[in-house]
Structure 1
Amino acid sequence: MSREPQVERATDAAVAAGTLTAGFMADPVMRWIFDTPQKYLTGFPRFAAAMHGAAFAHDMTFQVGDHAGVAIWLPPGVQGDSEGVVAAIQDKVAPEKMPEMFEIAAQVGGAHPDYPHWYLPWLAVDPARQSQGLGARLMKHSLRIVDESGLPAWLESPNPRNIPFYERHGFEVVGRTQTATAPPIHWMLRPGRG
């Protein structure tokens, strides 16, 4: 049905953004941040691009099924564009939510391991193609590369329904955000292999 996931080049960033936007449309945290369809459709793609932009330069973006699924990894030591993240949400988030947004960012940033690790900011499958094993194929493919390094992998799951999926791939919940009104984001770590 679909071919083995292929490394995407930066020229595929717009297509990957479409998959991410479709895949996160019903995500509890993303919809708390971008609380109207218009805010989501205009803000989320910029937010996602700021979080993962460097991945394209490091050939750590994978797709499967003609971009029905996308996994975007940041290698050890590579970070997203924090200024770009703030710019993407600044005019989309209600002013009364901004203090909580900064608290979430502080909690997430403080939880990241302070030792070399791989980071999976995004894994998404188009809702029309979910439950076909595409996400699992992306994880298996990319985790082979991660495992070659022997380093651990880290992710945040803003949707509790996805936790069992990540656990099947060796991740463990190690904490979560706790704020006044935002849904929790669960932190997950996969020990290094190899």
Structure 2
Amino acid sequence: MQSSRQKNGAIKIVTPEDRSRVIAILTTAFTMCPLLRWLYPEPERYLRHFGGFLDYYAGDPYTDRSGAYFEREDRGALLWLTDKAHRDDARMMSFLLGSVPENRRTETERLFEELGKYHPKKPHWYFTMLGIDPMHQRSGWGGLLYQYGLAILDEAKGLAFTEATSASSARLYERLGWRIVGEVQLGSSPPVFPMLRHPS
């Protein structure tokens, strides 16, 4: 983990004071995410609901100190839930069904129910969001930020789960030790790839 800090000099664990910066980074980063833009296809709907989606999907990394971001230039952010944290999936689903277009509610509910079947039954870490500002994408920052988070995971010797929302992000995760365990695609939704990473 120290080498990552030395190389970029600016990765910082998130705190409550960083909340608005991290939300801004991730809102910008996910404008082209196949899953997020399927959920919120119109720009106005996306901007209105993304912050709420983040709250329900990613929990509270700011008080849990379960996230990191590039403090310099706000290049990107990574959020996770530790094996001690638990997301309220019922509240998340209620939010989703009230915010996605009406004609996507049934598919949205079925999609997330199917994804839930891939979550490990035993305690695990859940890497929820990795986003890089489009101005800095394809420059290696995503891998560097993920290596920082995975160093924390490996120190804890934890089992981890994530969902890649594109084939390209799945390939990045595979290079970092993740394994695809399925592919979920329902109706008009894009494919989503559940992935596991076992302790090294």
Q: TM-score, normalised by structure 1?
A: 0.92
Contact 2:97/2:108 (8 A) holds in 1: no
Partner of 1:150: 157
Q: 1:9 aligns with which of 1, 15, 23?
A: 15
- AA partner of residue 126 (structure 1): D
In structure 2, what is the Cα distance between the partners aligned to 1:126 and 1:68?
A: 5
For residues 110-143 of structure 1, what are the alpha-carbon distances to aligned partners after superposition, in whole Å with 9 as ceiling and x for unaligned?
1100112111100000000112222122111111
Q: Secondary structure, in 3 states, of the residue corresponding to 2:53?
A: helix
In structure 2, what is the Cα distance between the partners aligned to 1:44 and 1:72?
A: 15
Contact 2:124/2:161 (8 A) holds in 1: yes
Partner of 1:110: 117
Quote the offset at 1:82 in angstroms: 3.0
Quote the offset at 1:80 in angstroms: 2.7
Partner of 2:146: 139
Partner of 1:32: 38
Partner of 1:82: 89
In structure 2, what is the Cα distance between the partners aligned to 1:61 and 1:4?
A: 14
In structure 2, what is the Cα distance between the partners aligned to 1:10 and 1:145?
A: 20
Contact 2:14/2:61 (8 A) holds in 1: no
Quote the offset at 1:86 in angstroms: 3.4
Partner of 2:80: 73
Quote the offset at 1:12 in angstroms: 0.8
In structure 1, what is the Cα distance between the partners aligned to 2:155 and 2:164?
A: 24
Partner of 1:63: 69
In structure 1, what is the Cα distance between the partners aligned to 2:137 and 2:91?
A: 30
Q: Secondary structure, in 3 states, of the residue corresponding to 1:120?
A: strand
In structure 2, what is the Cα distance between the partners aligned to 1:16 and 1:85?
A: 20
Q: TM-score, normalised by structure 2?
A: 0.89
Quote the offset at 1:72 in angstroms: 0.3
Q: How many residues align?
A: 193
Q: Give 5+ residue unaligned stretches, structure 1.
A: none
Contact 1:9/1:59 (8 A) holds in 2: yes
In structure 2, what is the Cα distance between the partners aligned to 1:52 and 1:5?
A: 19
Contact 1:54/1:79 (8 A) holds in 2: no
Quote the offset at 1:87 in angstroms: 4.8
Task: Find out whether 1:180 has 2:190 as its counterpart.
Answer: no
- The percentage of counterpart residues that share the same residue type is 26
Partner of 2:49: 43
Q: Give 5+ residue unaligned stretches, structure 2.
A: 1-6
Partner of 1:97: 104
In structure 2, what is the Cα distance between the partners aligned to 1:37 and 1:116?
A: 37
